Structure formats: C-alpha cells, structure tokens
Structure 1
C-alpha cells in the first residue's frame, strides 16, 4: 500500500461511523487492525482524560487506558451492538478504573498498616517510603506464612477470623503473626540496609 492510498484509506475511515468501523473491525481482526485503530484514535484522548480524573494520576490512567484498549481489541468480536460502541467502551473503562482504584485502595491499606503504631494501631504522621512497585520487594523480607497472612489481609481483604480458618491457625496466633510481620516490614522500610 502506498502512502497516498494509506492516507486515502485513513480519510475514508475517519468518515465512517462508529458502527461501520465496528463492523469492519470485527470482519478484519486479527488480520489487520486499521478499523480498530481508528476507533481507538477517536476516543483515546477522552478515554485518557476520564481515567486520569477518576484515578487522580496520569501513570495509572495510562495503564488503565492500555488495559481498556486490549480488552476492546480482544472483545470486539463478541460485541453484539446492543449498546452504542461508545457506551460499551466507557463501560469497560469504568470497570477498569474501579479495578485499579480497588488495587490502589488495598495498597494504601497495606501502607497504612505498615505505618501503624503497634500498641494502638493509630496512624503515624509519616507514611513509609514504599512505592507500589516495591511492595513485592518488601514482602520478601517476611517468611512464607507471614506473607500469606499479609496478602490475605490486604489483597483479599479478609478478616482475621477468616484468615485463621483458611490457614488452620488460632485467631490469636494469626493476629500475633500479622503484627510481627508488620513490625519486621517496618524495620526494613525504615532501615533498608
């Protein structure tokens, strides 16, 4: 395809409705992604702005946009057209933003727990210096059982009784291991060497 025919094709695509592009994309995928790319080009900026405003930062918004585009790419063949493409796209976007928000909320709960005063479980003014990419790095500093307790508590958001039932441990032993694991992580965060 020459550059002039590619630009002609781009002009023709830009004149198509969303519904026409969806039909064409469903027919072409995965041999070519031209119609899909045009759909994403139309909504990319607004999609990013929606995500950025919902999530509060551009890094997470960019990640969610990429995830949305992949979900659209892989789900377009099953899109039945009962709703408008735009509605379907923003439904996926909303769900991905909610998922990201919940992940961030779980991370914040863990970070808050790492900054707890062990006696009173009250928040300290300083947050630990842990970034979201470093979470796995910090969890390697506790043994497997303690890591499982922390993951069940903060990722699965289970209560101590549920964790104790799952792990076949007494409730007091579960709480004690949880507190000790947090204390060990606190020490690594405040003195990483």
Structure 2
C-alpha cells in the first residue's frame, strides 16, 4: 500500500477517516521528513519544529476529508505547514517582544518571576479599567490578534489598537514611577 500514489491514498483516506487512519498514516509517513525540514528551515528550533509538525499532522487529519483536490496534495499540505509556521513565528516574536518590554521596563525581581506570568500579569494590569484589562488579557493570555479582539470588544480596529497601546503605556509609566 505504500507504493500507491498520493491521489489514491488521499481518496482512500477521505473515505476511511475518522474510523480507519491507515491511508492517512501512510501519507504522513511519506511526507513527515519533508514537513519537518520545511518547518525547521522556517523556525530554526528543533522543539518548536516538532510542536508545529504535530499541529500540522492534527490539522491535516481534521481537514483531509474536506480536501477538494483543487491543487496537488503536496501543495495543499505545504500551504497548511507554512501557515502553521507563520502563526508560530508570529507567536514567538510576540512573546519575545513582550518579554523584552518587561525585561527593560520592569524591576529585576519581575524577570525571575516571569515564568509565573499569570500572577505577574495580574499584578501588571491592576489599576487598569475592565476594558483595558480585557484587551491585554485577550492579546497576551489568549494570544488573539487585535482585529479579533476588536470584534469581541465591539470596537473598531483603530480604537482597539489605541486602547491596547495606551494600556501598555499606563503599565510602563507605573513601572517607571515604582522604580
């Protein structure tokens, strides 16, 4: 069965899933080395690459029954993989900016407690109004994009961005005052 074409395996997997995953497994075994190389080339981190690979495998498993075959399977699979890499890369950059912001602006003791970010985050947003706390929580805890936060909060994107950045400025100003 491993010598079957992608097209045949995709057809079989679409018929078999979710009750039988044999054809899906063969496809993923065939493409897993390619996917890992592609992911690692983007992220340059083995642990992150393994995590993204797992996300891709799950996404393909869930999405394969709906694959419309408008492109080659490998093209579709590559697009899913690149999208997951982009999402992870953006998340890594956001986390780095957030850590860098507080490493520069916060007292030394905060850096050592950053891993307990829920407690520290709660302290950081004390004194902000509900909407400001909500926006920052959705951004940094739920890791949502500002456009999605704006929709949830019932704001225009520009107003949401303004409230987000002003909230950060309030926190930075308070950190400066406390120093």
Q: Fold-level match, TM-score > 0.5?
A: yes
CA shift digits 1:68-89 (9 cap, x unpaired): 1111111111101111111100
CA shift digits 1:106-127 (9 cap, x unpaired): 1011011112258xxxxxxxxx
Is 2:43–2:89's contact at 8 Å kept on the other side of the alignment?
yes
Q: Distance in 2 between matches of 1:166 and 1:57?
A: 34
Higher Cα Rg, which structure: 1
1:165/1:32 CA distance change after superposition, 3 Å: same
CA shift digits 1:35-60 (9 cap, x unpaired): 00000000111211211121110111
Q: Distance in 1 between matches of 2:116 and 2:175?
A: 15
The yes-or-no answer on 1:93 pairing with 2:81 is yes
Report the 3-state secondary structure (helix = DSSP H, G, I; strand = E; otherwise coil) of the residue aligned with 1:14.
coil
The yes-or-no answer on 1:139 pairing with 2:127 is no
Higher helix share: 2
Question: What corresponds to 1:18 in structure 2?
Answer: 6
Is 1:150–1:178's contact at 8 Å kept on the other side of the alignment?
no
Which of 145, 152, 171 lines up with 1:178 in the alignment?
Answer: 171
Which of 32, 37, 40 lines up with 2:25 in the alignment?
Answer: 37
Q: Distance in 1 between matches of 2:88 and 2:26?
A: 26
Is 1:149–1:178's contact at 8 Å kept on the other side of the alignment?
no
1:117/1:178 CA distance change after superposition, 3 Å: closer
Gaps of 5+ in 2: 148-157
Q: How does 1:60-99 map to 2 (within 5 A)?
A: 60-99=48-87
Give the alignment's Cα RMSD to 1 decimal. 3.3
1:81/1:175 CA distance change after superposition, 3 Å: closer
CA shift digits 1:101-154 (9 cap, x unpaired): 001111011011112258xxxxxxxxx4577x6544532333454754644676
Question: Does 135-144 or 51-60 show the bigger shift?
Answer: 135-144
Is 1:114–1:182's contact at 8 Å kept on the other side of the alignment?
no
Count of residue correspondences: 157
Is 1:18–1:39's contact at 8 Å kept on the other side of the alignment?
yes
TM-score (norm 2): 0.71
